[in-house]
Structure 1
Amino acid sequence: MMLTAPALTALPKIRHAFFTREGGVSEGIYASLNAGVGSADDPQKVAENRARMAAAVGVPPDHLLSAYQIHSADVIVAEAPWPAESRPKLDAIVTKTPGLAVAASSADCGPVLLADAEARVIGAAHAGWRGALAGVTDSAIAAMERLGANRSRMVAVLGPMIRQPNYEVGPEVLAQFTAQDPAHARFFVPSETPGRQKLDLAGYIAARLKAAGVAQVEDIGLCTYADPDRFFSYRRATHRGEPDYGRHLAVITLVA
């Protein structure tokens, strides 16, 4: 049902999980632990799935907070639960409030969990290539520091996401990365398809975190596209001609 990372497990009074697609009540293409409130799945089943996730990290269902993600670099500080129907439109959530679980939703994009255990400040970021390039992880780090964290103590963990062997992109993506910094070309290799490239999204996110001065960066190293038994994948669903896809949650919370 869930994966954990040693770098975060070692921290006191912090719980986290990278949930897989296993252990829920959804059926068909959403089987079974679909957290996607924006999917076309039965809302009651999604609610039950999210309640199970909340229970797994020790919070009430309404204290499991995720955003309406828009592939931005925007961040919010969570201080209290918000209604599911009025989720903020952004891509990173940080908090210093015990008992709130902040989450990033994904189905190929990069979920990143962050923590400064000493300052008791945590965050979750959704980093697709657009958000990663725009600096969503930098935004999350800065917001955490405004709450008292220090990047020299932070731990960041990259969860399951689409990996370079399965992530073909067009020349316009390469152009946007290299326009920001020509050295970003190192995150691309030529695809078997002429004129296209394969992007190492995880490598880019990890490099960006390290360049920002994060003390410890860990990568779970798993590919959503390549493991249909455990993970949803937007791109795999598209290649299969499926009408929709499920979503995972990466979740982190401070224990009171």
Structure 2
Amino acid sequence: MAAIELEPAPGLHGVTGEPWPGVRYFSTWRQGGVSQAPMDSLNLGTHVGDDPAAVRENRMRLRRALPDEPVWLEQVHGTAVFDADTIIGGAVPPARDAAQTAFPPAPRADAAVTTRRGRPLAIMTADCLPVVLSDESGTVLGVAHAGWRGLAAGVLENTLDELRRRAPDAHGWRAWIGPGIGPRAFQVGAEVREAFLDRDAALAECFLFQPGSGRWLADLAGLARARLSRAGIGRVEESGECTWTRADRYFSHRRDPGSGRQATLAWLE
């Protein structure tokens, strides 16, 4: 894990992982924007009740660190994968007039893939995991939103299947798991545990029973790592950042219901 300044976007910072040939990727921190509390300050979500003009300004600031307009998604905790190569030309840019509050419609999906250079893919989170996937050579790229529902239902496997379909000769698959709620903070009921163990009993090691509450602590990143490894990803790296714990860096819906959203951006160089 490495903290970075998002050049040339003054005041914006984030976190990234190990160098990845042909791939750039990072998750934003919450500082450097204009949104007011409790969305302070770099809220990038349009669906959380924030002032649309503030969100637009925040996205414009982020745009300075990117090679093109990012491909945003309408995330629904599902498993659908959007083909970002179907976008003709560049992504739809946001309006430059702060008074214009409407945002263009986003594809309804929880993952996206591309083979085009310089096309940033975006995932918004506030406890769920953002996951970046590609091969060692940066031939094809995918990003996924992995909350427990999408993770259990196969969003990561669906994304990898789409990547393999687009680049059948690619090899050396790797993934980066960005900031999400950590294993000491993610308390869940038995139904969440069962959703994973019904498919793979070995994943029981990712759950720790809490006798006082009758609930379980779930290692969401551990679950994602196990699913990725079983799907054939040879190298999986984790940011190790907990959104619930690091209130100075990240929004967390569980910690602060109705919070803002950070974003994970990735593109092929």
Q: Same fold (TM over 0.5)?
A: yes
Q: Return closer, same or farther for 1:55/1:237 CA change in 2, 3 Å cut-off.
A: same
- The letter for the 1-side match of 2:112 is I
Greater share of helix: 1
- The letter for the 2-side match of 1:48 is E
Choose which of 223, 230, 248 in structure 1 pairs with 2:242.
223
Q: Deviations over 1:108-129 (max 9, x none)?
A: 0010011225352111100000
Contact 1:151/1:213 (8 A) holds in 2: no
Contact 2:172/2:233 (8 A) holds in 1: yes
Q: Return closer, same or farther for 1:52/1:154 CA change in 2, 3 Å cut-off.
A: farther
**Where has structure 1 moved over 6 Å in runs of 4 or more?**
none
Residue 58 of structure 1, CA deviation: 2.7
Matches within 5 A, 1:193-232: 193-232=212-251
Choose which of 61, 64, 67 in structure 1 pairs with 2:70.
64
| Structure 1 equivalent of residue 51 of structure 2 | 42
- The letter for the 1-side match of 2:30 is R
Contact 2:67/2:119 (8 A) holds in 1: no
Choose which of 138, 143, 148 in structure 2 pairs with 1:129.
148
Q: Which runs of 5+ in 1 are unaligned?
A: 239-243
Q: Return closer, same or farther for 1:22/1:88 CA change in 2, 3 Å cut-off.
A: same
Between the two proteins, the alignment pairs up a number of residues equal to: 244
Taking structure 1 as the reference length, what is the TM-score of the superposition? 0.90
| Structure 2 equivalent of residue 11 of structure 1 | 21
| Structure 2 equivalent of residue 142 of structure 1 | 161
Residue 149 of structure 1, CA deviation: 5.4
Cα distance in structure 2, aligned partners of 1:110 and 1:119 = 21
Contact 1:24/1:32 (8 A) holds in 2: yes
Choose which of 102, 112, 120 in structure 1 pairs with 2:139.
120
| Structure 2 equivalent of residue 75 of structure 1 | 81
Cα distance in structure 2, aligned partners of 1:121 and 1:132 = 21
CA RMSD across the alignment = 1.7
Contact 1:71/1:91 (8 A) holds in 2: yes
Q: Return closer, same or farther for 1:39/1:109 CA change in 2, 3 Å cut-off.
A: same
Matches within 5 A, 1:82-121: 82=92, 84-118=103-137, 120-121=139-140
- Higher mean Cα deviation, 109-118 or 218-227? 109-118
Q: Return closer, same or farther for 1:194/1:122 CA change in 2, 3 Å cut-off.
A: same
Cα distance in structure 2, aligned partners of 1:217 and 1:107 = 21
Q: Deviations over 1:60-98 (max 9, x none)?
A: xxx211211111111011022257432111100010112
Choose which of 144, 154, 157 in structure 1 pairs with 2:176.
157
Residue 175 of structure 1, CA deviation: 2.1
- The letter for the 1-side match of 2:143 is A
Contact 1:35/1:46 (8 A) holds in 2: yes
